Amino acid sequence: MAYKRKRSSSNIHESFSDVALLMLATFIFLLVIILISSRLAEENELPRLQKEVEKLREQVNLSEADKERLKKDLERVIITDPETQIKTILDSASIGRKDFDLFVAGLKDIPGKDIHLVVDATGSMHGVSIFLVPILRLIVIRANKELNAITWFSDNRAVTSTGTMAEMFDNLMSEAPFVGNRETIGRAFRVAANEAPIPGAYMLIGDEPSDDVIHYTNIPSPVFTLPMGRLDPPTEAEYRSLAEKTGGKMLNLNFK
């Protein structure tokens, strides 16, 4: 009887040992399968990511080329007389002189002595960026205001520049990406209010509705809005509402 109990105990230990080895082998097998699957997923994902990076690199290169051309155009028109300068800028932006004069009449309603520009710098504004700075410069001059600051926004980023007008426009041309697809207007106004003194008014320049929440009551000055580019009912509705709720006005500038 003692011999039988000993043999039975040995069999139990062997069974436990076999089960443990089987579990270890199963674990190793599953680990290998996971590693192989992960490696295959990485190999399949890498080409797609490389294409996206290359596409973004091309967009950045195009934006840089446009900015360099814009700098040269701006330097060229600055040396001419004011009327020639205005005509050159309006012609390059395909804006009629009558439309611009009507737009300038609306600028007279902007209160205070200074203005803070809030500029959409997402990819949808890439084409407009070629002539954006000369147009903004004309807006500030014709509004007879001092430029308090410029804040650009794109994809949850918002950067505010202060200083001289030349420094601010230079920063806009050199730093604003004009790529991305998230119109984070609400964040832009929060950053603008925190990073610069409160102006007489803000002017928002963009071409699409916001992708985040705009807290109208937290904007400390009236907002004058200028929807750019194509006529887009949702954009115009939001820009009109933003202007009305902050005591500003939506302005129109028609592009041919």
**Does residue 56 lie within any of the structural domains?**
yes
**Does residue 251 lie within any of the structural domains?**
no
**Does residue 103 lie within any of the structural domains?**
yes
Q: What is the number of structural domains in the chain? A: 2
Per-residue pLDDT of the chain (256 residues; tens, 9 = 90+): 444 444 444 555 555 565 566 666 676 767 777 766 666 666 666 676 677 767 767 776 676 666 666 555 555 544 445 566 667 776 766 666 767 777 778 888 899 999 999 999 999 888 777 778 888 888 888 888 999 999 999 999 999 999 999 899 999 988 999 999 999 999 999 999 999 999 999 999 999 999 999 999 999 999 999 998 666 889 999 999 999 999 999 988 765 5
**Does residue 170 lie within any of the structural domains?**
yes
Of 79, 114, 136, the residue that ends a domain is: 79
Of 79, 94, 129, the residue that ends a domain is: 79
In three state form, how does the secondary structure of the chain look?
CHHHHHHHHHHHHHHHHHHHHHHHHHHHHHHHHHHHHHHHHHHHHHHHHHHHHHHHHHHHHHHHHHHHHHHHHHHHHHCCCHHHHHHHHHHHCCCCHHHHHHHHHHHCCCCCCEEEEEEECCHHHCCCHHHHHHHHHHHHHHCCCEEEEEEEEECCEEEEECCCHHHHHHHHHHHCCCCCCCCCHHHHHHHHHHHCCCCCEEEEEECCCCCCCCCHHHCCCCEEEEECCCCCHHHHHHHHHHHHHHCCCECCCCCC
Of 56, 79, 102, the residue that ends a domain is: 79
